[in-house]
């Protein structure tokens, strides 16, 4: 990972245009090729970013200090450096991912055994499908034969959607699997996480732990 702290301005050109005026910012360039620009007032969300696959070109000559990031759709993120305050690179290695608690691990096992919970015609490819950035909880196929990656949480929050997004970016580079869509599955999904998932084309499924275990709910139901 490369960390650059610089006074810079940022322009985005694509489906729409956006401009960040000059200010000190943190720029992260990750090993997967992604580039994100951060301010000092948010916990997780960058001001602007470009997801992989994309290319970064650092200008020279008359364009020295201008970074141009281009993705496969031709969208551009142009970062104009005015003053670089810090520039360092660090090798982080392969991240093991989040360690699941007992309930999440059991949910994964139960859902794999009852994969039809996701929809009629679903079939399991495998649990813990390994990628370069960690294991995907469940990889399966839908009734049309499309590949589906499933991320399972006890409580579905934004960080889980971000984790699944990273997996999807990587899986969709594999021609044997692509196109791969995602399902975010949890016992409870926070509204913010659902909005983010929907915006990224990721489906959401609320899991009933007792139903997966084959235990009937003892509460009266109206139909």
10 Å CB burial of residue 23 (0-12, 13-18, 19+) is middle
Q: Residue 219, class by beta-carbon neighbours within 10 Å (0-12 exposed, 13-18 middle, 19+ buried)?
A: exposed
pLDDT for 37-83, tens place per residue? 999 886 667 889 888 889 999 998 888 999 999 998 899 999 999 99
How many domains does the structure of the chain reveal?
A: 2
Q: In terms of domains, do 160 and 85 share one?
A: no
Whether residue 84 sits in one domain with residue 22: yes
The pLDDT, as a whole number, for residue 215 is 55
* Ramachandran assignment for 67, one of left (phi > 0), alpha (psi -120 to 50 degrees), beta (any other): beta
Q: What is the pTM for the complete model shown?
A: 0.56
Q: What is the CATH number of the domain that holds 42?
A: 2.70.180.20
Q: Is residue 220 part of a domain?
A: no
Domain for residue 218, yes or no?
no
CB neighbours of 60 closer than 8 A, spacing ≥ 6?
none
Final residue of a structural domain among 31, 62, 89: 89
Q: What is the pLDDT of residue 51?
A: 85
Backbone angles phi, psi at 23, to 5 degrees: -170, 160
Does residue 56 lie in a domain region?
A: yes
* Distance separating alpha carbons of residues 198 and 201, to the nearest angstrom: 5
Q: Are residues 119 and 44 in the same domain?
A: no
What is d(CA 141, CA 120) in angstroms, rounded to the nearest whole number? 11
Residue 82 lies in a domain: yes
Quick one: 107 and 181 in the same domain?
yes
pLDDT in tens, 177-223: 999 999 999 999 999 999 999 999 999 999 988 888 875 444 434 43
Q: What is the pLDDT of residues 24-40, one digit of tens each?
A: 999 999 988 899 999 98
Q: Quote the CA–CA distance of 211 and 157 in Å, as a whole number.
A: 22
Domain limits for position 109: 103-213
């Amino acid at each position: 990972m490369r960390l650059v702290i610089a006074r810079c301005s940022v322009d985005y050109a694509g489906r729409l245009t956006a401009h960040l005026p000059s200010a000190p910012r943190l720029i992260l360039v990750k090993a997967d090729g992604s580039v994100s620009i951060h301010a000092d007032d948010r916990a997780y969300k960058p001001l602007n970013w470009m997801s992989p696959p994309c290319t970064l070109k650092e200008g020279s000559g008359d364009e020295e200090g201008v970074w141009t990031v281009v993705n496969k759709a031709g969208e551009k993120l142009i970062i104009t450096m005015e003053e670089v305050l810090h520039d360092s690179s660090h090798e982080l290695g392969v991240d093991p991912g989040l360690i699941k608690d007992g309930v999440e691990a059991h949910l994964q096992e139960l859902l794999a055994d009852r994969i039809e919970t996701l929809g009629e015609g679903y079939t399991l490819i495998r649990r813990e499908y390994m990628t370069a950035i960690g294991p995907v909880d469940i990889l399966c196929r839908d009734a049309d034969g499309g590949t589906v990656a499933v991320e399972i949480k006890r409580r579905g929050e934004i960080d889980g959607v971000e984790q699944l997004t990273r997996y999807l970016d990587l899986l969709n580079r594999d021609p044997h699997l692509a196109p791969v869509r995602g399902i975010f599955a949890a016992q409870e999904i926070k509204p913010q996480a659902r909005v983010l998932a929907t915006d990224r084309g990721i489906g959401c499924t609320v899991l009933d732990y007792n139903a997966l275990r084959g235990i009937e709910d003892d509460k009266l139901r109206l139909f």
